[in-house]
Amino acid sequence: MLNIILFGKPGSGKGTQASLIKDKYSLLHISTGDVFRKNMSNNTDLGLLAKGYMEKGELVPDKVTVDMLKDEINNFMPCNGFIFDGFPRTTFQAKELDNLLLEKSLKIDLTIALDVDNNSLIDRLLERGKSSGRADDQSVEKINMRLQEYDNKTKPLVEYYNDQNKFYSINGIGSLEQITSRIVEVIEDYNND
């Protein structure tokens, strides 16, 4: 079983790459954004809570996020493994994920970060906002707030996974194929160890 976290700032391409990697390794893709949208469209209590934060360009609180993700993981067991996209975003979430996986005799194997500079991310998100209809992708101010919040809350995860020798950073700029190839190289090196 292989469990991977795709890590990176909003707009870094996590969702796109997770979709490509999941098929190659027969993994289940759990996207925090998709889980949020599903809960919001179904008007669940957790979904309505999440919506309020997202519309302000803020990250959804840990407890709400963890509760939604626990349900998703439990719904997909057993499986060949997971590729997490957008989760965990804080050290608290990472520890909760470790505990949940441990209950199932599983662990995170790799955390792969897509490294993209903020100017490129702003351009990507504004472009995505033209077709996605997402309010948080249509304002430079909201995008900058998300990037700042990411830096404040998510950067400690680099240290958390680095201390476990599970953190790998790759260049997140290039063609889809180039970036996928970089991710596959990290996974294959891990599998061959």
Residue 78 is classified by DSSP as S
Determine the pLDDT at residue 132: 77
Residues 6+ apart with CB under 8 A from 187: 2, 4, 21, 25, 110, 112
For residue 39, pLDDT beyond 90: no
> Which residue out of 89, 124, 142, 182 is catalytically annotated?
89
pTM of the shown model: 0.83
Q: What is the pLDDT of residue 180?
A: 96
Q: Which of 154, 150, 170, 165 is nearest to 21 (CA)?
A: 170
What's the pLDDT score for residue 118? 86
Write down the pLDDT at residue 171.
95
* Mean pLDDT (whole number) for 13-24: 91
Q: How far apart are CA 140 and CA 93, in angstroms?
A: 27
Instruction: Point out the catalytic residue in the list 38, 51, 95, 134.
Output: 134
- Mean pLDDT across the chain, nearest whole number? 88
Q: Catalytic site residue 89? A: yes
Q: What is the rounded CA–CA span in Å between residue 12 and residue 115? A: 7
pLDDT at 45 over 90: no
The highest-confidence range among 80-89, 124-133, 162-171, by mean pLDDT, is 162-171
Catalytic residue among 14, 22, 124, 142: 14
Instruction: Say what the pLDDT of residue 162 is.
Output: 94
Q: In the numeric block, which tokens belong to residue 9?
A: 């700032």
More confident residue, 187 or 39: 187
CATH class for the region spanning 4-188? alpha beta
- What mean pLDDT is predicted for residues 28-57? 85
Choose, from 37, 95, 128, 166, the residue flagged as catalytic.
Answer: 128
Active site residue 124: no
The answer to whether residue 182 is catalytic is no
